[in-house]
């Protein structure tokens, strides 16, 4: 799930910055995790940019079939029947 992926990516990014700040890594290892960090950073930004604001309503008809429609002000008078 994207949410989990983002959370993990952010956590890994924090860890990488911590590693680089400790500065006891050999240069090639630093470069390796730096490249990984840049990739993560790009991916995170992409996930953030991809998301789109949507408010939808999930309704179930009498046969139990579910469908989704966009939420609008009209919905406020559209109480589901019991």
Partner 1 sequence: MTGLLRTSIEEQFSDIWLEGELSNIRAPGSGHIYCTLKDKTSQIRAVLFRSSALKLRFALQEGMQVIVRGRLTVYELRGEYQIVLDTVEPKGVGALQLAFEQLKERLAAEGLFDQDRKKPIPAFPRTVGVVTSLTGAAIRDILAVLRRRWPTLHVLIAPVQVQGESAGRQIAEALAALNDWGFVDVIIVGRGGGSLEDLWSFNEEVVVRAIAASHVPVVSAVGHEIDVTLADFAADLRAPTPSAAAEAVVPVLAEIVERLRELTLRMGQMMLRHCAFERQRLDAGIRGVTDVRFRLQDAAQRTDDMVDRLRELLQRLLTSGRERVHEAQRDLSGLNPILAIKQGLATVPQFSKRLEGQMGTILAQHRHRVHAMLAQLNTLSPLAVLGRGYSILQTVPAGQVLHRASDVEVGQELEAQLASGRLHCRVTRIVDDSSV
Interface residue list for partner 1 (CB under 8 A): 1-4, 6-7, 10, 13-14, 16-17, 20-21, 23, 25-27, 30-31, 34, 37-38, 41, 44-45, 48, 51-60, 66, 68, 71, 75-80, 82
> Phi/psi of residue 67, each to 5°?
-145, 165
Smallest distance, partner 1 to C-beta of residue 14, A? 7
Q: Which is nearer to partner 1, 63 or 77 (CB)?
A: 77
| Residues ≥6 apart with Cβ < 8 Å to 23 | none
Half-sphere exposure of 34 (CA within 13 A, CB side): 10
């Amino acid at each position: 799930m994207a949410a989990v992926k983002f959370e993990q990516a952010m956590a890994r990014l924090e860890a990488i910055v911590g590693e680089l700040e400790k500065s006891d890594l050999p240069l090639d290892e630093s470069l390796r995790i730096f490249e990984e960090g840049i990739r993560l950073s790009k991916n995170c930004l992409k996930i953030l940019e991809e998301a789109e604001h949507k408010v939808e309503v999930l309704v179930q008809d009498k046969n139990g079939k579910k469908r989704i429609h966009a939420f609008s002000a009209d919905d406020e008078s559209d109480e589901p029947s019991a």
